[in-house]
Chain A
Amino acid sequence: VPASELIERVAQLIDHYQQDISGESGAELAALGRRLREPVRVAVIGRVKAGKSTMVNALLGQRVAPTDVSECTRVVTWFRYGSPQRLVIQMSDGSMIERQLAPSGLLPAELGVPLDSVVSLHAFLANEPLKSMTLIDTPGLGSVHPAYSATTEDLLAASRSSSAAADRADAVIYLMNQVPLEDERDVLLGLQSGVRDPLTAVRALGVLSRADQLGDGSVDSWSVAVDLAQHYSAVLRDQVSSVVAVIGLLAETAATAALTEHDGRALKKLVELPPNEFVKLTWSADRFLSTSSPLDVQTRQRLLDSLGLYGIQVATDLLRSGVVGAGALRRELAVRSGIEGVRRSLAGVFGEQEHVLKVRSVLASLSRLSYHHTDRPEQLISLRNAVEALRLDPVMHPIAEVEAWQLASLAEHRLPDRLHADLRALVMPGTVRQKLGMSSNDDADPRPLVAAALTRWRTFLNTEASPTQQAVARVVLRSYQLIWTGLS
């Protein structure tokens, strides 16, 4: 099914009802219609100081989100594509305040309005990556200020009010700081908010940020981080599609051209130090600043701020191995930072099924709208029926799969391991062969596998499945039937 057809079908439905439904519901309907044409919405979540803003900057290749503790880090901030560049402050009384942005796009440290009355910030930037993805920077989870963390949870979970539902994220980048914590996982599972709409592997990518701070310094932090990321990929396989390691600071510096020729020359001077002296100079951050060296203290502070201790070691290693010039150094540092892995995973996970995620969110909002509003009931009932009919269309089957997977990822509906693996393969992006658990260069006839899977699931459906699991099994049987039809 071409992805665009999914969008078209829902768009048609919305257009059709747009004419009949007015008032508040009509406005919501219009917003949902617009949302279908918007890029997929990816929220960056994690604890306070997990490196969320750093990640946003690295992905945008532009230093737009303040990374220190400023007012903006306490409010949900949307980064959208738009020109001219501007900042729109959405206030709790419904009004919007518009502000100019500096040419660099960096958000101001102070907003000039009472923080308590700000709902969210919307930065419109002429930034290429934003054309395909709206990024949402969020306040830290598990903060001692519960109100800040609550706004993030609202963003992720279906809130009680349907208008808030239209403002939700489609997918999530979850930054874990060295270790996933229980309260963070609860947020992923939607437990915190009490609404059972868990983020699952389909919608979330895990990132082990601060990969440069792992280990005890006796082995390369990066190799420790890669190893650990693999470990957490397995531990959290139901919550995130995978976990990738990244050195946020290095990625940001490399991507935003913050490293100058002057810095390159300074690093070169460090390379010329005797090895013993270099080791002792880079022993700790404090030592790097306090030990006498050929560089003045401002330059050292600058290097430390933009590269970190690990980054300085990597950069000098690169210079020793013959890399010349700040430009080449930046490219190499970008490679070492692991940011490409994050981009690849993003494209792989959200890119291929971006439409599915978006349409899923819109359909959920449509259903909620048709049930929760009381004006013009006859049109809303008709809308409700139309949404249900659309859901049954084979074109919409990927949505049903994602929802089945979400159900199955709740502990009480957990499937037997084999079936769980079947469902995960079906729901994750890939070719038909991959969805059947074959390697993509395997030429064998896939049909016997489909037949076996059908038998397996039918047996499960008719024997041990609980009612919820039966619903899941029916979706999966349909998936295999559709695959079978496609093969013959």
Chain B
Amino acid sequence: MTELAPQRARPAVDEVLRQVTSVIDLLDRENRPVVAQALARQRDAHPDHAPVVVVAGEDKRGKSSLVNALLAQRDLSPVGAKVVTGSPITFFHSTHPVASMLRYGSTDAEPLTVEQAQLLATTEGNPGNAANISGIRIGLDLPLLEAMDLIDTPGVGGLASGHAELTLQSLTNADALLFVVDSSSPLRASELSFLRRAAQRLQFVVLVVTKIDVNPGWRTIMGDDAAVLSEHAPRFAGCPIAAVSSASTLRALTLDDDEFAAEIRVESGIAGLEQLLRTEVAASIDTVRLQNLLRSGISSLVALEWDLRERQAATSPDGKALAGLQQERARLEELREDKVTWPGRLEGQIRKLTLLRTDTCARRILEIRVRYQERARLADRNEIQSLPGELLAELTALAGELNELAARQLAEVMSAVIDDMDTSSTVLSGIHEIGAMSVADQLMPFSAKDRKLRPGERVQLLNEVGRGRSLMGLLSGKSAVAFLAPPFGLVLGAGLGSVFAFQAWREHARHGAAAEFRVWMNEQITHAQLTINNGFALRVVDLQNEMRVAIRRTLAERENAISKSVASALALQQQAASRQHEVRSRLERQIGAARKLRQTSAKLLADLSLPVEVHLSLDGEDPS
């Protein structure tokens, strides 16, 4: 870490790092290696990267407009009534315009033009994330970007699934969060819970209330928001609130009146917000990062403390609690045994789902086939040129759509099976979480892994579709490379093959006609159908196993934990009063240690922060 701003009396860097290290040690001692490692990674992160500010919030609250307004660029991050950001876009500083995208399962960024990147970032340009993009980067020579990276994220809470995960992912490297809400209505319960999740490891959060130009009542709503925060999420009660109007700022750019535009920029709160980001984030980035580090530590300690308290409650000599625990353990044992029916039900449901999906796929593909045959029959020579491209795009979109449908249905199946298993146990939420995670984990890389053909397969594929043409010729053809880039976000495993086949077909088509298109089309469609179905079937087998393992593991973990509690409770019952006292006071000491560390962290954080309130009581913190 570099030197701190000298003007404020603040804890030394060493002191904070020592503190965080003791938190990590405590977490290690309390047997929480994953959390400890995550915190250690955050502590040891490379200090030189630019400050990262993430803009997040619910669907259609004006995140992209806010980014545009901050950068004083109309239409930089795609906006519009129907335009929805589908992938996180990182704007960074670059002396000449550059853009790239990263796909799931790949570590190599693929270069794009800025226009392509803008299109692919929307759900229109990349429906259902058919192109399997995990993030987009756009580099531009804009003054604010010299001071920080800005990340625009997909909205959460809308009807498109998976956006919340994408947004949370882009927060892993964030230094500050702009949480965007609308000034027409107060904070909703779902917004609040997303804010809590998003700010787990971030201390610097600004609540940005947008669209104040059209809502005369924005001051009331802003007051309501502040009240909601202090009542329901006291951690954020002191966070700065910025009331802005992005639209009004951007509209002013269209007038040929720089003075007025500057005036509006100030009036609409954008200038103030920019200033806040420059001084409080960019100029004091080292402090901000220390604060985040402390916040992250506090979040982990809060979770630990809740857990210890639960155990303490369990070891209290109250007979009822013990009986409850024993009952739950018995039930867990039953659930884990192989005689129970849930694995069978899971398998049955998933098989049914696979069949349904195959059926849907067949029906949709039949419909596409009929339509394109008809079009090929009616098309003239010029029109027929565009058919292969359209067909590929449609097949690609279909694959993406089916994926998304399957993800949703799998999640439903998972929920239904879990709900059937056991309706009263606290294990449920744990399994649900794991279920949701493994579905997401499995399906995100689903198409990415499938798209990566192994060398042998690739040769085979090329042999198939290239029909004896020189492979090297095809591979080195410039046009082929151009086709790897959008406009068609190629998602099918056959995507690569299709491109080559398309090239081959184009050569042919110079002399050919509709009949040849049909032949080519039928091949493509058959291939697509196979790829979609087989890829899915394979993935589902893995997924099913993983779900089974995950459920069993959760049950086992929970059972272990309960067993420990039961054992210590039983031991307590049998032991002399003094001994009982000893065990309970050890737990008390553990809690005390965690609490003390949390409170010293909180004090350090308070010293580091300016007017931001820091809560010392656990009541203000949410169990996570």
Contact A310 B214 (CB under 8 A): yes
Residues of B contacting A227 in the complex (Cβ-Cβ under 8 angstroms): 81-82
B264 within 8 A of A: yes
Task: Tell me, yes or no, whether A180 is within 8 Å of chain B by CB.
Answer: yes
Contacts of A305 in B (CB 8 A): 216
Query: B79-93: which residues lie under 8 A (CB-CB) from chain A?
Result: 79, 81-82
How many Å from the CB of A131 to the closest CB on chain B?
Answer: 32
Please tell me if the beta carbons of B157 and A218 are within 8 angstroms of each other in the complex.
Answer: no
Report Cα–Cα, A180/B58, bound state, in Å. 11
Q: Do A284 and B245 contact each other (CB < 8 Å), given the known contacts A144-B187, A309-B213?
A: yes
Chain A nearest CB: distance from B223 CB in Å? 11
Tell me the B46-87 residues at the A interface (CB within 8 Å): 58-60, 65, 79, 81-82
Give chain A residues whose Cβ lies under 8 Å from the Cβ of B245.
284
- Of the listed stretches B14-22, B100-108, B247-255, chain A binds B247-255
Find chain A residues with CB under 8 A from B246 CB. Answer: 216
Q: How far is the CB of B551 from chain A (nearest CB, A)?
A: 21
Q: Which of B188-196, B461-469, B501-509, B512-520 contacts A (4 or more CB under 8 A)?
A: B188-196
Q: Which residues of B contact A224 (CB under 8 A)?
A: 81
Asked if B59 contacts A177 (CB within 8 A), the reply is no
Q: Closest Cβ of chain A: how far from B126's Cβ, in Å?
A: 17
- B11 part of interface (Cβ distance < 8 Å): no
**Closest CB of chain A to B182's CB: distance in Å?**
8
* A37 at interface, CB cutoff 8 A: no
User: Measured between alpha carbons, how far is A215 from B80 in the docked complex, in Å?
Assistant: 6
| Nearest-neighbor residue (CB-CB) of B228 within chain A | A144
Chain A, interface size category, equals: 35 or more
Counting chain A CB atoms within 10 Å of each CB, the highest count among B158, B186, B188, B251 belongs to B188
Best-buried of B186, B214, B267 by chain A (most CB within 10 Å):
B214
Assuming A214-B81, A216-B65, is B248 touching A416 (CB within 8 A)? no
Beta-carbon contact of B216 and A304 below 8 Å: yes
CA of A411 to CA of B161 in the docked complex: distance in angstroms? 15
* Interface core residue of A178, A179, A215, A305 (most chain B CB under 10 Å): A179
Closest to B221 in A: A49
A286–B185 touching, CB < 8 Å: no
With most chain A CB atoms within 10 A of its CB, the pick from B213, B221, B247 is B213
Chain A residues within an 8 Å CB radius of B214: 212-213, 284-285, 308-310
Q: Which residue of A lies closest to B233 (CB)?
A: A144
Any B CB within 8 A of the CB of A50: yes
Interface size on B, residues (CB 8 A): 49
For B190, B250, B367, which residue has the most chain A Cβ atoms within 10 angstroms?
B190
Quick one: which of B228-272 are within 8 Å of A by CB? 228, 231-232, 245-248, 250-252, 254, 260, 264, 267-268
Interface segment, one of A78-86, A181-189, A338-346, A424-432: A181-189
- Within A40-96, the residues touching B (CB, 8 Å) are 47-50, 69
Whether A481 sits at the interface, judged by CB under 8 Å, is no
Q: How far is the CB of B204 from chain A (nearest CB, A)?
A: 23
**Most central of A49, A210, A235 by chain B CB within 10 Å:** A49
Do A177 and B190 have beta carbons less than 8 Å apart?
A: no
CB-contact partner of A143 in B60, B157, B188, under 8 A: B188
Cα–Cα distance between A411 and B406 once the two chains are bound (Å): 11
Q: Report the Cα distance A283→B214, complex, angstroms.
A: 9
The contact string, 1 if C-beta is below 8 Å from chain A, for chain B 202-236, is: 00000000011111101001001000100110000
Contact flags (1/0) for A205-244 with B, using CB distance below 8 Å? Answer: 0000010111111100000110110010001000000000
> In this assembly, does B377 line the interface, its C-beta being within 8 Å of a C-beta of chain A?
no
Distance A363 CA – B221 CA, assembled complex (angstroms): 43
Q: Is A144 in contact with B189, judged by CB distance below 8 angstroms?
A: yes
B359: Cβ under 8 A from any A Cβ? yes
* A284 B212 Cβ-Cβ under 8 A: yes
Interchain CB contact (< 8 A) of A48 among B59, B185, B192? B185
Asked if residues A182 and B159 are in contact (CB atoms below 8 Å), the reply is yes
Distance to closest chain A CB from B125 (angstroms): 16
Q: A180-B159, A217-B247, A309-B213 are in contact. Are A287 and B267 (CB under 8 A)?
A: yes
Min CB–CB distance B92 → chain A (angstroms): 25
Does B409 count as interface, using CB distance less than 8 angstroms?
yes
Give which listed residue, B60, B159, B251, B409, contacts A411 with CB less than 8 A: B409
Known: A217-B248, A283-B264, A286-B267. A178 touches B213 (CB 8 A): no
A310 cross-chain contacts in B, Cβ below 8 A = 214
Query: How far apart sit A413 and B445, CA to CA, in the bound complex (Å)?
Result: 28
- Assess the A179–B189 pair: CB atoms within 8 A: no
Report how far A49 CA is from B182 CA in the complex, Å: 11
Is A274 on the interface with B (CB-CB < 8 A)?
A: no
With beta carbons under 8 angstroms apart, the residue of B211, B248, B250 that contacts A283 is B248
Query: Is B375 part of the binding interface, using a Cβ–Cβ cutoff of 8 Å?
Result: no
Contact indicator A284/B267 (Cβ below 8 Å): yes
A48 touches B186 (CB 8 A): yes
Partner of A286, one of B212, B224, B251: B212
CB distance from A479 to the nearest CB of B (A): 23
Complex contact B216–A218 (CB within 8 A): no
A110 interface hit (Cβ, 8 Å): no
Q: Is B590's CB within 8 Å of the partner chain A? A: no
Interface residue B184 (Cβ < 8 Å from any Cβ of A): yes
Query: Which residues of chain B come closer than 8 Å to A416, judged between CB atoms?
Result: 363
Measured in the bound complex, the distance between the Cα atoms of B60 and A225 in whole Å is 14
* Smallest CB gap from A209: residue in B: B184
Is A20's beta carbon under 8 Å from chain B? no
The complex places the Cα of A414 from the Cα of B267 at a distance, in Å, of 52
Report the Cα distance A213→B412, complex, angstroms. 36
Complex CA distance for A236 and B19, rounded to whole angstroms: 52
Q: Does B250 contact A216, Cβ atoms closer than 8 Å?
A: yes
Task: Report whether B188 and A412 are in contact in the complex, using a CB–CB cutoff of 8 Å.
Answer: no
- Chain B residues in 8 Å Cβ range of A49: 184-186, 221
A280 at the interface (CB under 8 A from B): yes
| Contact pattern, A 114-148, Cβ under 8 Å of B = 1, otherwise 0 | 00000000000000000000000000101110100
* A73–B224 CA distance with the chains assembled, in angstroms: 15
Contact partner, A218, options B58, B185, B189, B251, Cβ 8 Å: B251
CA of A216 to CA of B68, assembled, Å: 12
A416 to B363, CA, bound (A): 8
Do B60 and A213 touch (CB < 8 A)?
A: no
* Bound complex: CA A372 to CA B410 (Å): 35
**CB within 8 Å of A: which of B360-405?**
363, 367
Q: Are B247 and A285 closer than 8 Å at their CB atoms?
A: no
Q: Say yes or no: is A443 at the interface (Cβ < 8 Å to chain B).
A: no
Contact of B159 with A185 in the complex, beta carbons under 8 Å: yes
In-complex Cβ contact of A47 among B188, B251, B359 (8 A): B188
- B260 and A280 contact, CB distance less than 8 A: yes
- Residues 333-378 (chain B) with a chain A CB within 8 angstroms: 359, 363, 367
Q: Is A296 an interface residue (CB 8 A)?
A: no
**B232 touching A144, Cβ below 8 Å:** yes
The verdict on A417 contacting chain B, using a C-beta distance below 8 Å, is: yes
Task: Closest B residue to A210 by CB, please name it.
Answer: B184
Task: Flag if A213 contacts B81 (CB, 8 Å).
Answer: no
Using known A-B contacts A47-B185, A47-B188, A182-B158, determine if residue A216 contacts B412 with beta carbons closer than 8 Å: no
A149 to B188 alpha-carbon distance, docked (Å): 11
CB-based nearest A residue for B231: A144
| A179 and B59 contact, CB distance less than 8 A | yes
Assembly CA distance A462 to B224 (angstroms): 58
Q: With a CB–CB cut-off of 8 A, which chain B residues contact A146?
A: 189
Q: How far is the CA of A185 from the CA of B224 in the complex (A)?
A: 25
A69 to B225, CA, bound (A): 14
Complexed CA–CA distance, A217 and B409 (Å) = 40
- Residues of B contacting A47 in the complex (Cβ-Cβ under 8 angstroms): 185, 188
Chain B minimum-CB-distance residue to A213: B214
14 contacts between A and B (CB under 8 A): A49-B184, A140-B185, A144-B186, A144-B228, A212-B214, A213-B215, A216-B250, A218-B254, A228-B81, A235-B159, A284-B264, A308-B216, A309-B213, A309-B216
Q: A144-B232, A217-B213, A416-B363 are in contact. List 8 more A-B contacts (CB 8 A).
A: A183-B157, A183-B188, A214-B81, A216-B65, A216-B247, A216-B251, A283-B264, A305-B216
Of all A-B residue pairs in the complex, the 8 with the closest CB atoms, nearest first, are: A284-B213, A49-B185, A179-B60, A285-B216, A216-B247, A142-B188, A224-B81, A213-B214
